């Protein structure tokens, strides 16, 4: 049956480029889990930003922390500079699927733009403040403490910057009539908003569950984030598989 159908496909639209397979999308998809593995490796094992260090340390303890981990911080965050663009591919693929939904493409644009808000404080600020600290580790411990605080406050405290992006995604899924993503994904996305908003007190609290290394501010938010990432990566795979070859996406 496919033998008969194939020539038809090109005859309907002879001039238009039609992909023969989904290699392009599959390559993009594979970059996402690889990127997040690098991300985890850098932040957890090399830079020691996750799980976060204590928020109630004194400057001498902070200086000791930087001295002990100078090399791994430098390796980790220099590596991050190279791979950080992978997050752009992940977000691009989600935005691409959002454009297939029955909602206005403005949702996809808003999704990408809203993510740009969080990219700097959520990831790069921590990297630059830690790299600055390890660049001249013989600095006054007070200055090292400042860089330590900037690093963690931006890394954990920026979680609120991502709420708009999650809201846009949740709304798009709920309004979509093409069933690109199942409705339950919208609910997982709303949990992301809830847990990220709960990270707000890190700016005023130095110990306990709401500090930047607290059970609520950091750990619970991170657990839900991992659940969210696993779900969205899986659903992206499913959406790509179900997507018809050569489907026209509106601009």
Q: Which of 44, 45, 116, 197 binds another protein (CB under 8 A)?
A: 197
Contact between 230 and another protein by CB under 8 A: the answer reads: no
CB of 186 to another protein, least distance (A): 8
Residue 231 touches another protein, criterion: CB under 8 A:
no
Cβ 198 to another protein shortest distance, Å: 6
Judged by CB under 8 A, the chain residues 117 through 146 that form the site for another protein are: none
Residues 2-31 that bind another protein (CB under 8 A): none
| 45 binding another protein? (CB under 8 A) | no
b or e along 105-127 (b: 16 or more beta carbons within 10 Å of the residue's beta carbon)? Answer: eebbebbbebbeebbebbbbbbb
CB-based contacts of 21, cutoff 8 Å, min separation 6: 245
**Which of residues 27 and 223 has its CB atom nearest to another protein in the complex?**
223
Q: Does 216 bind another protein (CB under 8 A)?
A: yes
Please pick, from the candidates 111, 210, 212, 218, the single residue that binds another protein as defined by CB under 8 A.
Answer: 210
Cis amide bond preceding 70, omega within 30:
no
Report whether 103 contacts 176 (CB < 8 A): yes
- Taking residue 158's Cβ as centre, other Cβ atoms within 10 Å add up to 21
- Of 179, 172, 186, 181, the closest CA to residue 104 belongs to 172
Determine, following the binding rule CB under 8 A, whether residue 209 of this chain makes contact with another protein.
Answer: yes
Nearer Cβ to another protein (66/152): 152
Residue pair 198/219 in contact (Cβ under 8 Å)? The answer is no
**Per-residue string for binding with another protein, 154-173, x by CB under 8 A?**
--------------------
Q: Retrieve residue 124's tokens.
A: 């790069």
Task: Specify the 3-state DSSP secondary structure of 31.
Answer: helix
Q: How far is the CB of 26 from another protein (least distance, A)?
A: 29
* 2: exposed, middle or buried (Cβ count in 10 Å: 0-12, 13-18, 19+): exposed
229 C-beta neighbours (distance < 10 Å), count: 16
Whichever of 143 and 205 has its CB closer to another protein, that residue is 205
Confirm or reject binding of residue 220 to another protein (CB under 8 A).
Answer: yes
Among 184, 234, 238, 249, binds another protein (CB under 8 A): 184
What's the chain's length in residues? 251
Residues in binding contact with another protein, number by CB under 8 A:
21
Closest approach, Cβ 220 to another protein, in A, equals 6
Q: Does 208 bind another protein (CB under 8 A)?
A: yes
Q: Which residue bears the tokens 């390796």?
A: 75
For position 35 contacting another protein by CB under 8 A, the verdict is: no
**C-alpha torsion angle, residues 165, 168, 174, 176 (rounded to 10):** -110
Which positions touch another protein (CB under 8 A)?
Answer: 184, 187-188, 190-191, 193-195, 197-198, 200-201, 204-205, 208-210, 215-216, 220, 224
């Amino acid at each position: 049956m496919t033998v008969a159908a194939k020539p038809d496909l090109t005859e309907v639209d002879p001039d238009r480029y039609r992909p023969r397979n989904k290699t392009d999308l599959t390559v993009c998809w594979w970059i996402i889990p690889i990127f997040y593995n690098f991300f985890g490796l850098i932040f957890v094992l090399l830079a020691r930003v996750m799980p976060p260090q204590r928020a109630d340390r004194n400057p001498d303890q902070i200086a000791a922390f930087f001295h002990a981990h100078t090399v791994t911080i430098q390796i980790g965050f220099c590596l991050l500079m190279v791979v950080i663009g992978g997050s752009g591919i992940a977000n691009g693929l989600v935005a691409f699927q959002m454009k297939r939904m029955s909602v206005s493409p403005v949702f996809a644009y808003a999704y990408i733009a809203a993510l740009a808000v969080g990219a700097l404080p959520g990831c790069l600020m921590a990297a630059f403040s830690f790299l600055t600290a390890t660049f001249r580790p013989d600095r006054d411990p007070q200055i090292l403490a400042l860089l330590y605080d900037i690093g963690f406050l931006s890394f954990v405290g920026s979680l609120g910057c991502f709420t708009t992006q999650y809201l846009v995604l949740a709304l798009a899924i709920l309004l979509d009539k093409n069933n690109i993503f199942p409705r339950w994904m919208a609910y997982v996305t709303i949990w992301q908003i809830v847990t990220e908003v709960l990270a707000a007190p890190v700016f005023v609290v130095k110990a306990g569950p709401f500090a930047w290394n607290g059970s609520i501010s950091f750990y619970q938010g991170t657990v839900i984030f991992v659940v969210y990432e696993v779900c969205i990566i899986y659903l992206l795979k499913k959406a790509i598989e179900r997507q018809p070859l050569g489907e026209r996406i509106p601009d």
